[in-house]
Structure 1
Amino acid sequence: MTSVPDGARSLRCLIVVPPLAGHVHPTLALAAELRARGHQVAWVGPEPTLRPMLGPDALVHPTGIRLFREQGGGGEAAIRSLWQGFVVPYARFTIKALDSAVRSWRPDLVLVDQHAPAGALVAHRHGVTWASLAPSALEIGRPLRETPDLEASLEELLRALWRQAGLPVAEYTDPRFSPDLLLAFTSRALTGEQPFPAHYALVGPLLAARPTPPAFPWERLDPDRRPVLVTLGTLAADVAGDFHARAAEALRPLADRVQGVVVATPEVLAALPDHVLGVPRVPMLELLERAGLGAVLCHAGMNTLCEALAHGVPLVLAPIRHDQPIAARQVVAAGAGRQVDFATAGPGELREAITAVLEEPGYRVAAERVRQAFVADGGARAAADRIERLTVARR
């Protein structure tokens, strides 16, 4: 165990995160680093959902569990649906349990995912230092500035949450943005050299082994063919449509040298042709480390694309909604991938994009450049350093 550095002390860190894999997984790495330094870590959320992702030893302050409205649409409609149908209702549902957790566990620091704003409200109420976790490209650098009506409507939703929590209006602080520390799980290799405030720390992706990785048929990987992963993440089943079929057809003429690994629902898997390997889930990090992936075709979800780039694997990106178009543009600007239209790209266009990132060396060179930048950013180690510096400064 690493000792707590001079000037610091053992901390109690409470993590407030939505019960979604893309938000929870980075906190595993952060928690492991903090615990290795002698700090204590706990989470707040629905235990039946969090426990399989966190493992049996994690301390979870339970909130109970309820269903939330399906997110729908694309563009502005999808972002409004995300906030109105999930983020705000989840905040209202969890705030009482959060308040109880802060009262009973008495954390020194609350680490608040930007899509779990109740954590910031409760921390402010109790005078506890809080830091923001930014796991996506949607909430840093004001990417919504070109849609001022949408930006203003989200601001009003957050101000309403503040008022409903009984907090003084004059003390309002946007709960997405801690005034003291924001940890963004991205890199200037992707965002570019836009200016960020000094308390923003772009630490790159936070990667750690998952407690319960899914099984995978390793014996079915063909050593004579280069694997290409096709995945739309965990939340796109409602809009996937025939994308997997188009991707499988795109890979058919390449089947002598490329093996598609397609992640999809059981209904879709049943209809896939034999030249691709269909699975319901993959152990993503292990697959990247063991399989020698040639490329990843995905929806530009931040976790998926950062995990691929952290292993130097180039991408074909078919963004669907939320922050995905922003993230896709960043990867293309970095030279590490190609972008296609999720709804309209046919097999021929998909095949041309896949072939390009497999065969044109510039994409892999750029992906390797991003990988090296991620290493330099420091990941969980850098995040923990910033947390310790913040708490020393606030003593």
Structure 2
Amino acid sequence: MSRFLFVMPPFAGHVGPAAGVAAELGRRGHEIAWAGTPEVIRPLTGAALIFECAVPPFPERPESIHGFAALKFRWENVLVPLGEAMEPGVRAAVTEFRPDVLVVDQQAVAGALVANRAGLRWATSASTSAELSDPPAGLPKVAEWLRGLMRGLQERFGDPQAGQDPRFSPALVLAFTTEELARTRAAGPVRFVGPSIQDRTSHVDFPWQALDPARRLVLVTLGTAGTGPRFLTECAAALRARSRRLQAVVVDPTGSLPGSGDVIVRRKVPRLALLERASALVCHAGYNTVCESLYHGVPLVVAPIRDDQPTIADQVVRAGAGIRLRFSRSTATQIGAAVDAVLDEPVFREGAEQVRKSFHGAGGAPAAADALEQLAAS
């Protein structure tokens, strides 16, 4: 049996996909530990052994920045400081736990720094498909800037592999997607395993008796983001206007949106259970949300807000599985028209079904566990 150390950033969306893989490895008798933020990791994994890593204060990102400015802000103000802060905790975890393999999220680069310096095998956990195609690669100056920034971090911590991109392990990259969605044939040791989905919301109370089986169900969610009151209000108006044939469930974490029989509003919902009944999903193109929808073959209306979401939204569109809207400007009329299209035009259901088949055929957490066992034995 082997020891696996999962190195994760303090972002729930990145811990979630790894949780299923860790659980599968645990069922096979391997020893599992985590390095990161216990308050984020423990609720998602139930893990007993977590080595705490420091997290720097993150500045609030201005809503007005987009494109390269947003990428620059994220790396300079979030990911590089996070790598510097986490490195001592990851180093301590390696010393005490003595792992055979590190599983390192792409945004927890401290794991790569420590593994390289210790001469340990490590695998990348690509929790989102956004960086598999390396978007800056088409912008040489941006790519050069990013390489320089990461190389500087590696050199400060004595990484003997400085210059090698710490987001991509040279041994194994676990991509929690498929080529049908990512639309990329990534070079190197990439293993497309599809999403690792675990249901952690089955205990959430929901008024199932209020659902009308005679109407098609449309689910609206922006994940845990509390930045969308205007967009949610427009969604509710669009779907209320179609209440004769549609019923909406809107997830509103703030509790500010009024509900009615036509539009059921809840702070939390059992999302996977609802997706088994849903005909369409309106969301922010958060990667886990998109994967859960397409895992059920449910087409999407995506309105990306920030970070990797625009890239994920483009992938949904290229896969023929949905329509993209502008989050900040979409009106009830535009949202309603997009919902009508994904419900009534067969091409979107067909696109979603193709991705669904690829997801189910990729293997998920068991396939990822197989690849990690092979790496540990190599």
Residue 245 of structure 1 contacts residue 272 of structure 1 at CA under 8 Å; is this kept in 2?
A: no
Structure 2: where are the runs of 5+ without partners?
Answer: none
Say whether 1:288 aligns with 2:275.
Answer: yes
Tell me whether 258-267 or 175-184 shows the greater mean CA deviation. 258-267
Map 1:131-146; keep pairs closer than 5 Å. 131-146=123-138
Residue 82 of structure 1 is matched in structure 2 by 74
In the alignment of these two chains, the number of paired residues is 376
Residue 232 of structure 1 contacts residue 299 of structure 1 at CA under 8 Å; is this kept in 2?
A: yes
Map 1:92-111; keep pairs closer than 5 Å. 92-111=84-103
Residue 107 of structure 2 is matched in structure 1 by 115
SS of alignment partner, residue 131 of structure 2: coil
User: What is the aligned counterpart of 2:226 among 225, 234, 237?
Assistant: 237
Say whether 1:218 aligns with 2:208.
Answer: yes
User: What is the aligned counterpart of 1:260 among 223, 230, 248?
Assistant: 248
Residue 17 of structure 1 contacts residue 23 of structure 1 at CA under 8 Å; is this kept in 2?
A: yes
Alpha-carbon distance in 1 for matches of 2:203, 2:129: 26
Say whether 1:388 aligns with 2:373.
Answer: yes
Residue 311 of structure 1 is matched in structure 2 by 296
SS of alignment partner, residue 322 of structure 1: coil
**Match for 1:382: what amino acid?**
A
Residue 60 of structure 2 is matched in structure 1 by 70
Alpha-carbon distance in 1 for matches of 2:112, 2:173: 12
Alpha-carbon distance in 1 for matches of 2:331, 2:81: 38
Map 1:166-245; keep pairs closer than 5 Å. 166-168=158-160, 171-192=162-183, 194-210=184-200, 214-234=204-224, 236-238=225-227, 240=228, 242-245=230-233
SS of alignment partner, residue 185 of structure 2: coil
Residue 102 of structure 2 contacts residue 115 of structure 2 at CA under 8 Å; is this kept in 1?
A: yes
Residue 226 of structure 1 contacts residue 259 of structure 1 at CA under 8 Å; is this kept in 2?
A: yes
Residues 296 and 212 of structure 1, relative CA distance in 2, 3 Å threshold: closer
User: What is the aligned counterpart of 1:345 among 330, 338, 342?
Assistant: 330
Residue 298 of structure 1 is matched in structure 2 by 283
Instruction: Write out per-residue CA displacement over residues 174-222 of structure 1, whole angstroms, 9 at most, x where no aligned residue.
Output: 1101011001111111123x43224111111111232885443434333
Instruction: Write out per-residue CA displacement over residues 276-295 of structure 1, whole angstroms, 9 at most, x where no aligned residue.
Output: 11122223223323xx0111
**Match for 1:268: what amino acid?**
S
Shift, 1:273, TM fit: 6.1
SS of alignment partner, residue 53 of structure 1: helix
Residue 4 of structure 1 is matched in structure 2 by none
SS of alignment partner, residue 294 of structure 1: strand
Shift, 1:267, TM fit: 5.1
Residue 340 of structure 2 is matched in structure 1 by 355
Alpha-carbon distance in 2 for matches of 1:215, 1:339: 31
Say whether 1:334 aligns with 2:319.
Answer: yes
SS of alignment partner, residue 32 of structure 2: strand
**Match for 1:370: what amino acid?**
V
Instruction: Write out per-residue CA displacement over residues 55-112 of structure 1, whole angstroms, 9 at most, x where no aligned residue.
Output: 2x44211225554223343322222222223212221111111100000000000000
What TM-score does the superposition give when structure 2 sets the normalisation length? Answer: 0.93
RMSD between aligned alpha carbons?
2.1
Shift, 1:166, TM fit: 2.7
User: What is the aligned counterpart of 2:15 among 24, 40, 43?
Assistant: 24
Residues 368 and 211 of structure 1, relative CA distance in 2, 3 Å threshold: closer
Say whether 1:277 aligns with 2:264.
Answer: yes
Map 1:40-79; keep pairs closer than 5 Å. 40-55=31-46, 57-64=47-54, 67-72=57-62, 73-79=65-71
Instruction: Write out per-residue CA displacement over residues 217-238 of structure 1, whole angstroms, 9 at most, x where no aligned residue.
Output: 434333333221111222x434
Residue 237 of structure 2 is matched in structure 1 by 249
Residues 171 and 20 of structure 1, relative CA distance in 2, 3 Å threshold: closer
Residue 7 of structure 1 is matched in structure 2 by none
**Match for 2:272: what amino acid?**
L
Residue 260 of structure 1 contacts residue 277 of structure 1 at CA under 8 Å; is this kept in 2?
A: yes
Shift, 1:257, TM fit: 2.3
Residue 47 of structure 1 contacts residue 64 of structure 1 at CA under 8 Å; is this kept in 2?
A: no
What TM-score does the superposition give when structure 1 sets the normalisation length? Answer: 0.89
Residues 152 and 212 of structure 1, relative CA distance in 2, 3 Å threshold: farther
Shift, 1:34, TM fit: 1.0
SS of alignment partner, residue 130 of structure 1: strand
Residue 129 of structure 1 is matched in structure 2 by 121
Alpha-carbon distance in 2 for matches of 1:200, 1:70: 33
